[in-house]
Structure 1
Amino acid sequence: MSAHFGTRLRKGAVNTTVAALAVAALAASQAPDVTADGHGRQTAADTPSAADDGSGIGDSATGNSPYYTDLPPLNSPLPAPSESSSTTPAATGTTEAGIPATVLDAYKKAEAELAQSKPGCNLPWQLLAAIGKVESGQARGGNVTADGTTVSPILGPVLNGVGFANISDTDNGAYDGDSTYDRAVGPMQFIPSTWAWAGRDGNADGKKDPNNIYDAALAAGHYLCRYDWDMSATSGMRSAILSYNNSTDYLNTVLSWLEYYRKGTHEIADGTGTVPDNRSDDGTGSTPASPSTPSTPSTPSTPSTPSKPSKPSTPNTPSTPSTPTPTPTPTPTETVGHLEDAGTASLTAMAGDTFTERISTRAETAAGKAVAKVRIRFTIVGDTDATFTGGESVATISTGANGVALAPALVAGEKTGGFTVRATVLGRTLSALDYKATVTARAADTLARTSATALTCTAGGEFADQVEVKATYKGAVADKVAATATLIKSADDATTNDKGPYFKDAAGNPVRTLDLQTDANGLLELPKLYADDTAGTYLLRITTTGGATLTVELTVTAAETSTPSPTPSESESTTTGS
Structure 2
Amino acid sequence: MSAEFGRRLRKGAVNTTVAAVAVAALAASQAPDVTAGGQAGGHTAADAPTADTGPEGSATGNSPYYTDLPPLNSPTPAPSQSSGTTPAATGDTEAGIPATVLDAYKKAAAALADAKPGCNLPWELLAAIGKVESGQARGGNVTADGTTISPILGPVLNGNGFANISDTDNGAYDGDSTYDRAVGPMQFIPSTWEWAGRDGNGDGKKDPNNIYDAALAAGHYLCRNSWDMSTDSGLRRAILSYNNSTDYYNTVVSWLEYYRKGTHEVPDGTGTLPSNRSDDNDGGGTTTSPSPTPPATTPPASPKPPTKPGGGTTPPATPPTKPPTTPPQTPTDTVHHLEDAGTAKLTAMAGDAFTQRISTRAETEAGKAVGKVRVRFTIVGGTDATFTGGESVATVITDSRGVATAPALAAGEETGTFTVRATVVGRFVPAVDYTATVTARAADALARTTSTALTCVAGGEFADQVQVKATYQGATADKVAATATLIKSAGDTTANDSGPYFKDAAGNKVRTLTDLQTDAAGLLTLPKLYADDTTGTFLLRITTTGGATLTVELTVTAAPSSSPSPSESPSESASASPSESTTTAP
Q: 1:437 to 1:552 in 2, by over 3 A?
A: same
- The residue matched to 2:75 in structure 1 has which SS? coil
Shift of 1:135: 4.4
Please say if 1:439 is aligned against 2:438.
yes
Equivalent residues, number = 515
Residue identity opposite 2:128 in structure 1:
A
Alignment of 1:340-351 (within 5 A): 340-351=339-350
Map of 1:171 onto structure 2 = 168
- The correspondence of residues 525-540 of structure 1 with structure 2, limited to 5 A, is 525-540=525-540
Deviation at 1:350, TM superposition (A): 0.8
1:388 aligns with 2:393: no
Alpha-carbon distance between aligned partners in 2 of 1:377 and 1:472, rounded to the nearest angstrom:
34
Selected match of 1:131 from 129, 133, 151: 129
Map of 1:23 onto structure 2: 28
- 2:204 and 2:547 map into 1 onto residues whose CA distance is 46
Q: Is 1:108 aligned to 2:107, yes or no?
A: no
Match of 1:195 among 187, 193, 196: 193
8 Å contact from structure 2 (residues 169, 191) kept in 1: no
Which whole-Å CA distance do the structure 2 matches of 1:149 and 1:514 have between them? 52
Q: Which residue of 1 aligns with 2:6?
A: none
The answer (yes or no) to whether the contact 2:343–2:356 under 8 Å persists in 1 is yes
1:77 maps to a residue whose letter is P
Deviation at 1:238, TM superposition (A): 8.7
Listed one character per residue, the Cα deviations across residues 198-238 of structure 1 (whole Å, up to 9, x for unaligned) are 4579999999886xxx4366324224337997999868999
Following the alignment from structure 2 to structure 1, what is the Cα–Cα distance between the partners of residues 108 and 184? Answer: 21
The alpha-carbon deviation at position 126 of structure 1 amounts to 3.1
- Paired residue for 1:370? 370
Amino acid at match of 1:222: A
- 2:552 counterpart of 1:552: yes
Tell me how far apart the structure 1 counterparts of residues 233 and 275 of structure 2 sit (CA, whole Å): 25
**Are 2:59 and 2:192, in contact at CA under 8 Å, matched by a contact in 1?**
yes
1:266 corresponds to 2:264: yes
Q: Is the 8 A contact 1:26 1:40 kept in 2?
A: no
Q: In structure 2, how many angstroms separate the alpha carbons of the residues matched to 1:447 and 1:159?
A: 67
- CA 1:396/1:237 → structure 2, altered by over 3 Å: closer, same or farther? farther
1:528 partner SS: coil
**CA–CA distance in structure 2, aligned partners of residues 293 and 494 of structure 1:** 77
Unaligned runs of at least 5 residues, structure 1: 13-18, 28-33, 82-88, 278-282, 296-308
Counterpart amino acid of residue 28 in structure 2: V
Find the aligned partners of 2:510 and 2:281 in 1 and give their Cα distance: 74
Q: Which amino acid aligns with 2:517?
A: T
Bigger Rg over Cα:
2
- The offset of 1:435, in angstroms, is 1.7
TM-score by length of 2: 0.64
Residue 288 and residue 191 in structure 1: after superposition, are their counterparts in 2 closer, same or farther (change >3 A)?
farther
TM superposition shift of 1:461? 0.9
Report the Cα distance in structure 2 between the residues aligned to 1:517 and 1:132, rounded to whole angstroms: 47
Contact 1:458 1:531 in 2 (8 A): yes
Task: Using the TM superposition, name which of 536-545 and 286-295 deviates more.
Answer: 286-295
Q: What does residue 312 of structure 2 align with?
A: none
Secondary structure (helix, strand or coil) at the match of 1:344 reads: coil
Retained in 1: the 8 A contact 2:458–2:532?
Answer: yes
Aligned-partner residue type, residue 108 of structure 1: D
Instruction: Quote the offset at 1:61 in angstroms.
Output: 2.0
Letter in 2 for 1:557: T
| 1:484-563 matched pairs, under 5 angstroms | 484-488=483-487, 500-504=499-503, 510-521=509-520, 522-563=522-563
In structure 2, distance between residues paired with 1:364 and 1:416? 34
Deviations 1:252-303 (A, max 9, x none): 97567445424421356757445689xxxxx7xx4654489999xxxxxxxx
TM-score by length of 1: 0.65
Tell me how far apart the structure 2 counterparts of residues 337 and 560 of structure 1 sit (CA, whole Å). 87
Is the 1:502–1:529 contact (alpha carbons within 8 Å) kept by the matching residues of 2?
yes
Q: Distance in 2 between matches of 1:488 and 1:172?
A: 55
Q: Do 1:68 and 1:135's aligned partners in 2 also have CA atoms closer than 8 Å? A: yes
Aligned equivalent of 1:421: 420
The amino acid of 1:337's aligned partner reads H
Contact residue 420 and residue 433 of structure 2 kept, 8 A: yes
Residue of structure 1 aligned with 2:213, choices 214, 218, 222: 218
Q: 1:529 aligns to what SS in structure 2?
A: coil
Structure 2 unaligned regions, length at least 5: 1-14, 80-86, 290-297, 306-314, 582-586
| Inter-partner Cα distance in structure 1 for 2:545 and 2:21 | 71
Contact 1:227/1:390 (CA < 8 Å) preserved in 2? no
Alignment deviations for residues 143-202 of structure 1 (CA, whole Å, 9 cap, x no partner): 979945478745789599xxx9x876453996598968x776665343442134445799
Identity in percent = 53
- Once the two structures are TM-superposed, the CA of residue 97 in structure 1 deviates from its matched residue by 2.3
Q: Distance in 1 between matches of 2:153 and 2:319?
A: 51
Aligned twin of 2:311: none
- Give the drift of 1:511: 4.4
RMSD of equivalent CA atoms: 5.9
CA gap of 1:187–1:323, structure 2 versus 1, over 3 A, is farther
Work out whether residues 518 and 524 of structure 1, in 8 Å CA contact, stay in contact via their aligned partners in 2: yes
State the secondary structure of the residue aligned to 1:195.
helix
**Residues 342-392 of structure 1, C-alpha deviation per residue, up to 9 Å, x if partnerless?**
3433311112334343423232211223154456463535xx535434999
- The alpha-carbon distance between structure 1 residues 208 and 386, as it changes in their structure 2 partners (threshold 3 A), is closer
* 3-state DSSP of counterpart to 1:218: helix
